[in-house]
Structure 1
Amino acid sequence: LERLQQNYGDRGLTVLGVPCNQFAGQEPGSAEEIQTFCSTTYGVSFPLLEKVDVNGDGRHPLYTELTRLADADGEAGDVQWNFEKFVISPAGEPVARIRPRSEPESTEVVAAIEAHLPG
Structure 2
Amino acid sequence: MATRRLLIVDDDPAFRTVARALLDGEAFQVAGDAATGSAALAEVVRLRPAVVLLDVQLPDTSGFEVCPALIRAGAAVVLTSVREAADYGPLVERCGARGFIPKRALSAEELTRVLDTV
> TM-score band, normalised by the shorter chain?
0.3 to 0.5
Larger helix proportion, structure 1 or 2?
A: 2
TM-score by length of 1: 0.38
Larger strand proportion, structure 1 or 2?
A: 2
